Amino acid sequence: MPDGWMTDTRSDHARPCGHGGCDEKAGMSTPPLPAPTLRRMPAYLRLLRAWEAEGRDTVSCTHLAEALGLDPTLIRKDLQLAGGSGRPKTGYRLSELVPALEGFLGWSRPSEAFVIGAGNLGLALLHYQGFAAHGLSVVAAFDDDARKVGTTGLGKRVFPMAKLADLVQRMGVRLAILCVPDAAAQAVAEACCAAGMRGLWNFTGARLSLPEGAVVEDIDLAQSLALLSHRLSHSLAAGGRRRSEPTGTAP
C-alpha cells in the first residue's frame, strides 16, 4: 500500500474521500476508491445490520468472509478503506462499524431524489420502501403526461415536468432517477442538469452524455442480461450452480 493518497485512514466515522491530497497541485487527480470495494460495501452493511439486530456485538472479517464467500483479507482492506477499525482477537464493534460504513456511503441521513417519468417503472421506484435502508428518500415524481399528474394511491405526488426546475431549486434535490422512454432520455437528462440536479440514476436504455460535474450511474439491463443469457446457454456443460456477478438492493 505505497500510495500517498491513503492518508487519513482513520477519521472516526468516514474516510471523507478517495483523494488524500485534495490540497495538492490540481495537476492530476488522485486515484479514486476502487469500484469493486464500493460495490461490496452494501453487502457488508446489510449483513452487519442484520447481526446487530440479532444482538451481536462484534464481528471478525472471518465471519463476514464465510457468510459472503470472500477472502477475509479483502474484507479487512475494504473495511479499512471505509474508515472502520477493529481490535485483534475481538474484531470490529458493530456499533462503530455500521455507522462508519453508513457515513462512508453517504447513507447516514437520507438524501432526497425525484423520479422523472411516472410510468410503471417510475412508480415502482417512487413507492419502493427499500431505499430508506440505503439513505435514499424518493420524494416525488415528474411526468409530461397530464393524466399521470396528481397524487398516487400511496400519497406521493406526481408533478408536471414544467415544475421541475422550480422544485429542484426550492427543495435542493440533487438526484434524479431517470425512468422516461429511451428516446426521451438524453433531452430529459439535460433538463435535469439544467434545473440544477447533480446526480442521475439512469434506468433507461440510453447512454447519456452530460455536462461537466454531472454524475451518472446506469442500471444497464443489457449488460446484466448478457451475463445471464450467456451463462444460461452454456450452463449445461459447466456443472453446478453458477452465480452471475450482481448488478445493483431493488424494488
Per CB under 7 A, residues contacting DNA are 1, 9, 31, 34-37, 59-63, 70-74, 76-77, 79-80, 84-92
Answer for the pair 158, 143: CB distance below 8 angstroms, yes or no. yes
Pick one of 121, 149, 165, 184: the residue that binds a copy of itself (CB under 8 A): 121
Q: Of the listed pieces 2-10, 105-113, 137-145, 164-172, which binds a copy of itself according to CB under 8 A?
A: 105-113
244 binds, among a copy of itself, DNA, none (CB under 5 to 8 A by kind): a copy of itself
Query: 11: closest CA among 93, 91, 103?
Result: 103
Looking at the Cβ atoms of 73 and 235, the one nearer to a copy of itself is 235
Pick one of 65, 165, 167, 216: the residue that binds a copy of itself (CB under 8 A): 216
Task: Work out whether 100 is an interface residue with a copy of itself (CB under 8 A).
Answer: no
Residue at 90: amino acid letter: T
Pick one of 13, 127, 156, 163: the residue that binds a copy of itself (CB under 8 A): 127
Which residues, 6+ apart, have CB-to-CB distance to 214 below 8 Å? 193, 197, 198, 199, 200
Query: 173: closest CA among 140, 209, 125?
Result: 140
Which residues, 6+ apart, have CB-to-CB distance to 216 below 8 Å? 189, 199, 200, 202, 208, 210
Site for a copy of itself in 21-60 (CB under 8 A): 22, 26, 29, 32-33, 35, 38-39, 41-43, 46
State residue 141 phi and psi, 5-degree precision. -125, 165
* Count of residues near a copy of itself by CB under 8 A: 85
